[in-house]
Amino acid sequence: MSLAYYPGCTLKTKARNLEEPAVASMEVLGFKLEEIPRWNCCGAVYSLAEDDLIHQVAPVRNLIRAKEQGQDKLATLCAFCFNTLKRANLLMRENGEKRDTLNSFMDEEMDYGGEVKVVHLLEVLRDEIGWGALAQKVKLPLRELKVAPYYGCTLLRPREVAIDNVENPTILREFLEALGASPVDFPESTRCCGSYQIISNPDDISEYARDIFNSALSHGAEALVLTCPLCDYNLGQGQKELMKKHNEFKEMSLFYFTQLLALALGLDPQVCHFELNYGSPGSLLREKGLLS
Amino acid sequence: MSVTISPKRLRREFVRKVKELSGQNLQLCYQCGMCSGNCPATSNMDLSPRQIIELARLGLEEEIANSKTVWICASCLACTVNCPRGFDLSKMMEAIRLLTLRKNIDYIRPEDISPQERCELPQIAMVSGLRKFTG
């Protein structure tokens, strides 16, 4: 089955370890991720100002690309892109005045009214494949791998785009259970990593990372599972800073959820690009007998 | 904090612009502090998110301009989803930032980002950061 797919800029460069295992895994699960043609940067953040319509043009153009292909659904992997595209889509669906303005500004494009449904790959796994069916496809159960789900912000906030319960999400826990891993709940799982503050306040970022790692560690986690390339960068860089400053700080591995998916499905670990990860994922996986 | 309030210091035009840009009814807030309690960055702010709302609706533009709070906000929306009054503080923070950025006053200088950081930062960090901190 073919599924229209929007990768976004970061997945093609810094986060190949998020994208490549996803594409390979979905093929095993019967879905071909078809990149939409001529996609452009989504703008990374949704425009929050009432009068700022120009920044809606970029995400809406991507939605139009999907509609042109006759697709009624657009799958995303990057949590930032998911949020920006889904919010822009809601704007086009619900605000008639702004929809008309944007459509007439883009008069070279077909009219768009929010017809395409924006979904995150985790929703496809949960709602279209199902945890039971996924569990049946697992060839290498991730037994005894104690992983804490870290959601960050953009898959859950604001409420109207959330892929799960805003206060108490379980989608990543259920995903990890289907793969045979041991999920570790911890209270900081939906706390912001600091996001774009990395370019203006990097010291604050390492403070946020400290709180997140300490909380996960005290609840028994050996690794964090992530969905967002900026969470990965901030937590990874934050961890490096913490290790420089504090000898006692224990390094924790960071995984993208798609890497654990590919590993559990028995795919060649090379597709996971663990060499791009922060921490020492290889040694943790070898210790658990999950990697040779 | 103590603030001296006099008719001369209240900037009605500022309040009007914040309302217009954010699309938010600033009077919805009843100062319960859920926003500050849920904000992961409050400890790094000189004024709490709750205080910013109060100052903004009074029109105390100068106090807000002297504070770094709106620039510490990462638009994580923890305030937005937890507000019992349905007030979207992330939009008010954005409106206040834009009132500065649209005067061509940038919060960061892109040239200060080192070449090494430019290579290492994921694109979503660069694009979002430059959109939030430059006009």
Q: Residue B89: closest CA among chain A residues belongs to which residue?
A: A48
Q: Does A68 share its domain with A160?
A: no
Residue B132 belongs to some domain of the structure: yes
Distances (CA, A) of A23 to A11, A134, A174, B87: 12, 15, 21, 40
Instruction: Kindly determine whether residue B124 and residue A10, on different chains, have CB atoms separated by under 8 Å.
Output: yes
Average pLDDT, chain B: 96
The percentage of residues in chain A with a pLDDT greater than 90, rounded to a whole number, is: 97
Q: What was the pLDDT predicted at A290?
A: 97
pLDDT reported for residue B6 = 83
Residue-level pLDDT at A219: 98
DSSP A109-146: SPP--S-SEEEEHHHIIIIII-HHHHHHH-SS--TT-E
Distance CA B80, CA B45 (A): 18
| Residue A211 distance to chain B (closest CA, Å) | 10
| Residue-range definition of the domain harbouring residue A148 | 139-287
CB atoms B122 and A229 under 8 Å: yes
Cα A281 from Cα A255, distance rounded (Å)? 8
d(CA A217, CA A209): 12
Domain count along chain A: 2
Cβ of residue A198 closer than 8 Å to a chain B Cβ? yes
B121/A204 Cβ within 8 A: no
Q: Which of B72, B77, B80 sits opposite A201 (nearest CB)?
A: B72
A48·B131 Cβ contact <8 A: no
Instruction: State the Cα–Cα distance between residues A7 and A38, nearest whole angstrom.
Output: 11
Each residue's pLDDT tens digit, A266-288: 999 999 999 999 988 999 999 99
Give the ipTM.
0.95
CB pairs under 8 A between A and B: 125
Residue A201 in domain: yes
- Assess whether A241 and A273 both reside in one domain: yes
Q: Please name the residue ranges forming H helices in chain A.
A: 16-28, 57-68, 79-94, 96-105, 121-123, 131-137, 171-178, 202-218, 229-245, 257-264, 281-287
Chain A residue numbers touching B130 (CB-CB < 8 A): 199
B91 & B114 share domain: no
Domain containing B116 equals 108-135
- Give the chain B residue whose CA is nearest to the CA of A232: B122
Residues of B in Cβ contact (< 8 Å) with A153: 76-78
User: Are B39 and A168 within 8 A, CB to CB?
Assistant: no
Amino acid at B45: M
Rounded-to-integer distance, Cα A133 and Cα A11, Å = 27
The predicted-structure confidence for A201-239, as pLDDT tens digits, reads as follows 999 999 999 999 999 999 999 999 999 999 999 999 999
* pLDDT for res B9: 82
CA angle (B27 as vertex; B25, B30 as ends), nearest 5? 125
For residue A181, is pLDDT > 80? Answer: yes
Q: Is A75 helix (H, G, I), strand (E, B) or coil?
A: strand
Same domain? B122 vs B99: no
* This model's pTM is above 0.95: yes
